[in-house]
Amino acid sequence: MSTERTLVLVKPDGVQRGLIGQVLSRLERRGLKLIGLKLMQMDEALANQHYAEHVEKPFFPGLRDFITSGPLVAAAFEGANAVQLVRNTMGATNPLDATPGSIRADFGVDLGRNVIHGSDSPESGERELALFFESSELVSWDRDVEGWIYE
């Protein structure tokens, strides 16, 4: 089994709405292992790094203002196919297009307030994790139920 690591952010709207526990719980119930967690305030410099591919786009100032508007939760998850599992559990970026039962379909109604971010590839996962966590903040641990999750 090849494991991946991925970043998940419960965005400021999810924090303000009291959805942190529900979002993280859904990912854990999928079989993903939580290996890092922090409540933090993103500053503009980190927003510019995290969303570097969007800095020149017309919507970026609004995105930066939103993501720095309040506390967020940064979480690191690990597991086989972790990136795809998170993305499937999140649902489409636009909550109106998200599959029923996904986080965004259940909790989001607006493209700009969609509760959660997840890395879009294993490479992005590693890059994004390095922006939010020191390596010493990611805890590798053995979970007794692995045999019940993976064949």
Q: Which residues are catalytic?
A: 117
Are the C-beta atoms of residues 1 and 150 closer than 8 Å to each other? yes
- ∠ CA 1-80-132, nearest 5°, is 130
Query: For the purposes of burial, counting CB atoms within 10 Å of the CB of 8, is it exposed (0-12), middle (13-18) or buried (19 or more)?
Result: buried
Question: How far is residue 51 CA from its own chain's centroid?
Answer: 13
